[in-house]
Structure 1
Amino acid sequence: MSGETLLRVAGADLVRDGTTLLGDVSLTVRSGEHWALLGANGAGKSTLLSLLGALVHPTRGTVEVLGERLGRVDLRQLRSRVGHVDPRHPLRSPLTVRDVVLTGLTNSVERVPRWAPTEEETARADELVALLGLHDRREARWPVLSQGQRTRTLIARSLMPRPRLLLLDEPATGLDVAGREQLIDRLDALARTRPRLATVLVTHHLEELPPATTHAMLLRDGRRLAAGPAEEVLTDDLVSACFDHPVRLTRVDGRWNVRTRQPASR
């Protein structure tokens, strides 16, 4: 049975300074779906995510986020209802992991002066910290965290307001193998424990996709090349066309692997 529609993009263009960044893009995301946005550098992935996160308006076409059409709603209010994870979080203070997670309630980078969480809110923060595999690091301070620990902290932070939609912009950027695998494990745990949550993950590495990925969109030069169930979209031919390079995909235990496709021998 289809879930509730959380995102609907129809014929969206985004033009900046005469340059078309996105052209005629359409996408529908429903609750419980886990989408991957894939494409080469400059394909328009993060630009599309900015539309889905209500950060910008489309030049043409329509974008509906959580049932609200952009252009007819206060974007700031709408953004507070979407979990948006950006690894380039501009925090400068030595907040603890727990305190960073709690800033998700105030939608601020720093702790808001004279604001204090309730016991229930603190308990929820600790629950999310544990879910993201950081229970033993909840009192650790931001400057001493690894990049992987920071990313998982920011995911916990984004979940504090109980969003129905979670957007992840290249969350594995800068991670070593251990950090990447820990992140993928926790994203899979999130899918299991939050069955109604929808996620959209931007990456250009198929190896970074969690096994829970249900759908995929391939972007090339700002246009949709293919979109739909992951097993129909993530094929040798479509991914090769997306990245303009002949590749062969394999999938083991739900994880994708990519290698250059060698020409058939004569």
Structure 2
Amino acid sequence: MTGRTTESQVDGREAAVLRLRDVHVRRLTTDQLILDGIDWTVRPGEHWALLGANGAGKTTLLRLLGALMHPTSGTVEVLGSRLGRVDVRELRARIGHVNAAQRVPQDLSAHAVVLTGHSGTVQPLWRTYDDEVRERARGLLTELGVKELADRPYGVCSGGQRARVLIARALMADPALLLLDEPFNALDLPSREDLVEAMHHLAEGRPRLATVTVTHHLEELSPAVGHALLLREGRTLAAGPVEEVLTGAHLTACFGRDITVARREGRWTAYSGRRVSGT
């Protein structure tokens, strides 16, 4: 399915986690159109990949989903609340957001980093963490496959281990929506595969959790990712089930190169042979 989601596809179905309608974003300083007429619906339990070339608008779109900014025009509903009509501070507390660049004190233990997800702070607020909260943090480390890191300083963890610790931190608020901004950035192959497996298990264990993952590489998608949205120059090029969206033709149009796509046992691969003429 390409283009915009139609209202008939919304009617009669479960309430959306995310719903965007005719969303535009312009940069105030230059009047540049960054997002142009985005329509998008994400429902509970759906796992989406968000792909596009650098400058396509992925970061801006993710900031809208995380209630970190407002659209210039159009409507954005997150967890049933419309931006502009809700206290975004309360809304953000219900959204899990993972970014490898987020500030984390390097000397904190992995367990302490996860605890800060409960208080929504950079530094731990130790007096606010009772035994139940501390045990929950340990349980999330176990769920993400890194329980042995509980007492290890975050700064000496590998990139893949840090990514899983940050996901555990984001889950402390028990969010209905988890946003992952290039969580695989700079990971080596073993670390990437560990994180793919962890994300797959997370999806299986939390059937109501919706996720949106920004990535540049199809190889980073777990078999749980069932939907994808492709952005090109701020517009939706294609959106829907992965088997319909992640095709060679769509990715070639999205990235401006001749791209071949293959899927095996739920995992994707893609490679480019040459630049498409005229792009």
TM-score (normalizing by structure 2)? 0.91
Q: Is the 8 A contact 1:93 1:110 kept in 2?
A: no
Q: Is the 8 A contact 1:2 1:30 kept in 2?
A: no
Q: How far 1:259 sits from its partner (Å)?
A: 2.0
Q: How far 1:3 sits from its partner (Å)?
A: 4.0
**2:267 partner amino acid:** R
CA deviations on 1:77-116 (whole Å, 9 max, x unpaired) are: 110110010111212351111110011111111112x523
**1:121 partner amino acid:** V
Residue 264 of structure 2 is matched in structure 1 by 252
Q: How far 1:199 sits from its partner (Å)?
A: 0.3
Superposed, 1:55-66 pairs within 5 Å as 55-66=68-79
Superposed, 1:162-173 pairs within 5 Å as 162-173=174-185
CA distance in 1, matches of 2:34, 2:79: 24
CA distance in 2, matches of 1:76, 1:173: 28
Q: Does 1:176 align with 2:170?
A: no
CA deviations on 1:162-211 (whole Å, 9 max, x unpaired) are: 10100000000011111111110000000000011000000111111111
Residue 83 of structure 2 is matched in structure 1 by 70
Aligned residues: 262
CA deviations on 1:19-62 (whole Å, 9 max, x unpaired) are: 11111111100000000000111111111000000000000100
Superposed, 1:203-242 pairs within 5 Å as 203-242=215-254
Q: Is the 8 A contact 1:215 1:227 kept in 2?
A: yes
Q: Is the 8 A contact 1:3 1:32 kept in 2?
A: no
Q: How far 1:2 sits from its partner (Å)?
A: 4.8
SS in 2 for 1:61: strand
Residue 24 of structure 2 is matched in structure 1 by 13
Compared CA separation, residues 210 and 100, structure 1 to 2 (3 A) = same
Q: How far 1:225 sits from its partner (Å)?
A: 0.4
CA distance in 2, matches of 1:200, 1:2: 20
SS in 1 for 2:127: coil
Residue 3 of structure 2 is matched in structure 1 by none
In structure 2, list runs of 5 or more residues that go unmatched. Answer: 1-11
Compared CA separation, residues 117 and 13, structure 1 to 2 (3 A) = same
Residue 110 of structure 1 is matched in structure 2 by 123
Q: How far 1:261 sits from its partner (Å)?
A: 5.1
After superposition, the CA RMSD in angstroms is 1.5
**2:66 partner amino acid:** G
CA distance in 2, matches of 1:180, 1:88: 17
CA deviations on 1:95-149 (whole Å, 9 max, x unpaired) are: 111110011111111112x523121111111111011111111110111111111
Q: Is the 8 A contact 1:39 1:243 kept in 2?
A: yes
CA distance in 1, matches of 2:34, 2:230: 15
SS in 1 for 2:121: coil
Q: How far 1:156 sits from its partner (Å)?
A: 0.2
SS in 2 for 1:115: helix
Q: What is the aligned counterpart of 1:47 among 60, 63, 85?
A: 60
TM-score (normalizing by structure 1)? 0.95
SS in 2 for 1:5: coil
Q: Is the 8 A contact 2:119 2:128 kept in 1?
A: no
Q: Does 1:38 align with 2:56?
A: no
Residue 156 of structure 1 is matched in structure 2 by 168
Superposed, 1:86-125 pairs within 5 Å as 86-112=99-125, 115-125=127-137
Q: How far 1:260 sits from its partner (Å)?
A: 2.5
Residue 141 of structure 2 is matched in structure 1 by 129
Q: Is the 8 A contact 2:257 2:274 kept in 1?
A: no
**2:197 partner amino acid:** D
Q: Does 1:4 align with 2:15?
A: yes
Residue 206 of structure 2 is matched in structure 1 by 194
**1:134 partner amino acid:** V
Deviation larger for 195-204 or 117-126: 117-126
CA distance in 2, matches of 1:261, 1:3: 42
Q: Is the 8 A contact 2:261 2:268 kept in 1?
A: yes
